[in-house]
């Protein structure tokens, strides 16, 4: 059988929802790919910014380039996810490895670049919101590094996992808001 580049909408609508653990595994694979890129970017940016001539009142070229590198490193996960979900794979490397794909929830069609961008931004916003809620909770119950770490993880997991586990279609908050769903890839 010939390989199909995109999942036909009718197949996407008929596809089942994957277990939450498959989505967590996919995010973990993607994190292993993206986070080192961010770390290297931040190190390069920091080196450039710190090497800027402090005696010069104007912004040096090193500082400007360093600022641009920081911006690129910060946006890397959003750019990666946007392009991957709008690609013919309809998935990031992690989702592809777990045999998952992303499609429009109501039509089953592949995501446009615009909808994929909205979904990626909403996902990042959910993670940051969970982190902020966790940090506030940790401050209220005890400001120790362990409490902070645990509360942030619990808050992020709560925002991500509770809807996915509670809903029969496994859609998370960012999926609901973006009108998307993750599905078992029928290809």
75 alpha carbon, distance to own chain's centre: 10
Sequence-separated (6 or more) residues with CB below 8 Å from residue 35: none
Q: Are 132 and 148 in contact (CB under 8 A)?
A: no
Mean pLDDT over 10-19 rounds to 89
Quick one: average pLDDT of 94-100?
95
Q: What are phi and psi of 113, to 5 degrees?
A: -60, -40
How far apart are the C-alpha atoms of 149 and 109, rounded to whole Å?
38
Q: Is 100 helix (H, G, I), strand (E, B) or coil?
A: strand
pLDDT at 99 over 80: yes
Q: Where are the beta strands (DSSP E) in 48-123?
A: 100-104
pTM score above 0.85 = no
Query: pLDDT category, 184, cuts 50, 70, 90?
Result: very high
| Helix, strand, coil abundance in the chain, percent, nearest 5 | 65, 5, 30
- Residue 44 tokens read as 């390069």
In Å, how far are 37, 48, 53 from 57, measured between CA atoms? 32, 16, 9
What are the tens digits of pLDDT across the range 154-168? 766 666 667 777 788
List, for residues 44-82, the tens digit of each pLDDT value.
887 877 776 666 655 677 777 777 888 888 888 899 999
The alpha carbon dihedral of 68, 38, 40, 157 has a sign of positive
* 3-state SS assignment for residue 93: helix
The residues, any chain, with a CB within 8 Å of residue 69's CB and separated by 6 or more, are 41, 44, 45, 48
């Amino acid at each position: 059988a010939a390989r199909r580049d995109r999942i036909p909408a009718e197949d996407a609508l008929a596809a089942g929802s994957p277990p939450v653990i498959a989505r967590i595994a996919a995010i973990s694979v993607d994190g292993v790919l993206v986070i080192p890129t961010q770390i290297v970017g931040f190190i390069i940016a920091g080196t450039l910014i710190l090497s800027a001539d402090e005696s010069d009142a104007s912004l040096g070229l090193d500082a400007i380039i360093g600022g641009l590198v920081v911006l690129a490193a910060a946006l890397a996960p959003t750019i990666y996810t946007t392009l991957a979900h709008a690609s013919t794979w309809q998935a990031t490397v992690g989702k592809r490895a777990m045999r998952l794909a992303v499609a429009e929830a109501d039509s089953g069609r592949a995501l446009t670049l615009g909808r994929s961008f909205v979904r990626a931004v909403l996902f990042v916003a959910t993670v940051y919101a969970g982190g902020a809620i966790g940090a506030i909770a940790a401050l209220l119950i005890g400001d120790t590094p362990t409490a902070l770490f645990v509360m942030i993880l619990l808050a992020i997991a709560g925002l991500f996992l509770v809807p996915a586990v509670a809903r029969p279609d496994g859609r998370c908050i960012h999926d609901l808001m973006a009108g998307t769903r993750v599905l078992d890839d029928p290809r």
